[in-house]
Amino acid sequence: MALNLTVNKLSFKYDGTQVLKDVDMEVKLGEMLSIVGPNGSGKSTLLKCINRILKTQQNTVLIDGEDTSKLNLKALSRIMGYVPQSSTNTFPFTVFDIVLMGRKPYIHWSLSERDTEIVAEMLDYIGIGDLALRHFNELSGGEQQKVIIARALAQQPQFLLLDEPTSSLDIKHQLEILCILKSLAKTKHCSVIVAMHDLNLASRFSDRMLMLKKGCIFTVGTPDTVLTEENIESVYGIKTQVTNSILGSPQVTPLISEFNGIKPLKTPSKIETIDSRA
């Protein structure tokens, strides 16, 4: 059972453009760590580098001290599960079949009874057992997201990486998904690393938050140390008020746009039409 994931001086360039620079981080078993930062700050790229979808230098991502670049894809998939940003991908399969795909790293020649048992367990755990025989394409966005998470869990990963898993969901589905992730971490089934836009949800559910600015770690720590008005202004360039919620986690309220130097759009001047020119 792997306990620690360490990232050492991770840097990454797309076609010569530096996107991540010297990122150091550590994730311990049972922890829920959220990665926050403005659009383009490198959250998705960081997750893809950790998961080795994008290749980085040797010895940048270690699990219990072992270099993951030395692991083959199958071995890595048994340790790390990855849920990409929700896309418009469609799968002409049933929910059961899709979750079964998560067993691929374990299947040698044929399916075992244990593989199908694990799929059923994951569907129940996520609370979508009743959808098992439905077609993925006929499900709502929230249901589809749960299926993709169940597929990643069927890999039985020790580190689960998710890229904005709640961004297109309503508030109830957002809470359901984040409660599932929190409970996975709390029961030490796996550690959860999640890129998130919503600072308030991240604050409420994360043990620690890592805030990126232009590809570098700006700060990392518990939500109350990361989510300060000063840090948010430095990283996002807006003024906010941070207060403690009744649940104890800091909550961020952006101040109105005039205070943030965002000028309202000018009313467009009257559009000249052929008629008005005549």
The residues that touch ligand ADP, with contacts defined as CB under 6 A, are 14, 19, 37, 39-45
CB closer to ligand ADP, 128 vs 232: 232
CB closer to ligand ADP, 184 vs 195: 195
* Dihedral sign computed on CA atoms, order 12, 18, 21, 26: negative
Q: How far is the CB of 39 from ligand ADP (least distance, A)?
A: 4
For 36, residues 6+ apart whose C-beta sits below 8 A from its C-beta are 43, 195, 196, 197, 199, 202, 209, 210, 211, 212, 226
Look at strands 80-83 and 240-244 and give their pairing.
unpaired
Query: Rounded distance, CA 227 to CA 222, Å?
Result: 9
Q: How far is the CB of 37 from ligand ADP (least distance, A)?
A: 6
Q: How far is the CB of 51 from ligand ADP (least distance, A)?
A: 13
Q: How far is the CB of 147 from ligand ADP (least distance, A)?
A: 23
> Which residues is 213 bridged to in the sheet?
216
CB closer to ligand ADP, 39 vs 273: 39
Q: How far is the CB of 11 from ligand ADP (least distance, A)?
A: 13
CB closer to ligand ADP, 163 vs 176: 163
Q: How far is the CB of 209 from ligand ADP (least distance, A)?
A: 14
Hey, is 198 helix, strand or coil? coil
Give the CB-side neighbour count of residue 219, counting CA atoms within 13 A. 14
Look at strands 159-163 and 191-195 and give their pairing.
parallel
CB closer to ligand ADP, 215 vs 250: 215
CB closer to ligand ADP, 63 vs 196: 196
DSSP secondary structure letter of residue 57: -
Q: How far is the CB of 214 from ligand ADP (least distance, A)?
A: 9
Give the CB-side neighbour count of residue 17, counting CA atoms within 13 A. 9
Please tell me the total number of residues recorded for the chain in this structure.
278
Under a CB-based contact definition with an 8 Å cutoff, are residues 81 and 51 in contact? no
CB closer to ligand ADP, 46 vs 181: 46
Q: Please provide residue 196's backbone torsions phi and psi, each rounded to the nearest 5 degrees.
A: -140, 145
CB closer to ligand ADP, 85 vs 257: 85
Q: How far is the CB of 52 from ligand ADP (least distance, A)?
A: 15
Under a CB-based contact definition with an 8 Å cutoff, are residues 80 and 146 in contact? no
The structure tokens 């001047």 sit at: 269
Hey, is 242 helix, strand or coil? strand
